[in-house]
A and B are shown apart, each in its own frame.
Chain A
Amino acid sequence: AQRVTQPEKLLSVFKGAPVELKCNYSYSGSPELFWYVQYSRQRLQLLLRHISRESIKGFTADLNKGETSFHLKKPFAQEEDSAMYYCALSNSGYALNFGKGTSLLVTP
């Protein structure tokens, strides 16, 4: 069965500090993994897709199949990064299976 785990409900960091939001998954096949973000009063939106391997807003995420992890990282957090972050898994174009989300708070 597919499962996405985000162990931290809330993560608080200071501005300029590195940030890592953890995501672990269980899936027997070759999953597609995503990070979605929801800023205050905005819609849920795609941040990153593991296949694209790009950096968006300074965030990167590497798929580690051995550890079944897809952690989201940013070297220097900004206040505007404060948001709810969801890790999600998809099986070959099928529906998204979301983790329960991590609320990131970046304080000045």
Chain B
Amino acid sequence: KAGVTQTPRYLIKTRGQQVTLSCSPISGHRSVSWYQQTPGQGLQFLFEYFSETQRNKGNFPGRFSGRQFSNSRSEMNVSTLELGDSALYLCASREGLQAYEQYFGPGTRLTVT
């Protein structure tokens, strides 16, 4: 099976802009989670989607949002970008909410200038 794919792999945006990142899970996986990775804070959970519904949410401002489509693909959106949003955004999929193993994508490197 193909692994988790994320597009784009790299992005450069300006403060105040918005950005949309995309994640395609492993075929058959219905749960998609998003994480933000920074040198200072490490890996932090953003949110998880299952069957097009947000099931869990981390401690991030409302500027961070996401959605999941009927084919389980997911997007996350960050509005009004700030310099501190520069990070590697990782997507992970698993078969369902009770599946313990998460499979990670390669990440999208977002740089905000």
Contact = CB atoms under 8 A, between A and B. Distances in A.
Interface of A: 32, 34, 43-46, 49, 51, 86, 90, 93-101
Given A94-B56, A95-B33, A95-B58, A46 B102 contact: yes
6 contacts: A32-B100, A43-B106, A86-B43, A93-B97, A94-B48, A96-B35
A82 to B, nearest CB: 19
Interface string B93-105: 0000111111111
Nearest to A51: B100
B64 interface: no
Interface string B73-113: 00000000000000000101000011111111110000000
Interface residues of B, number: 24
Contacts of A101: 42-43
A43 B3 contact: yes
Contacts of B43: 86, 96, 98, 101
A95 B42 contact: no
Interface in B42-77: 42-45, 48, 56, 58
Contacts of B103: 45
Nearest to A88: B43
A49 to B, nearest CB: 6
Contacts of A98: 35, 42-44
A98 to B, nearest CB: 4
Contacts of A86: 42-43
Given A86-B42, A96-B35, A100-B41, 6 more contacts: A32-B100, A45-B104, A49-B101, A95-B45, A97-B45, A98-B42
B105 A43 contact: yes
Contacts of A49: 100-101
Nearest 4 CB-CB pairings of A with B: A100-B42, A98-B43, A44-B104, A95-B45
Nearest to B42: A100
Contacts of B35: 96, 98
Given A44-B90, A101-B42, A95 B56 contact: yes
A43 B45 contact: no
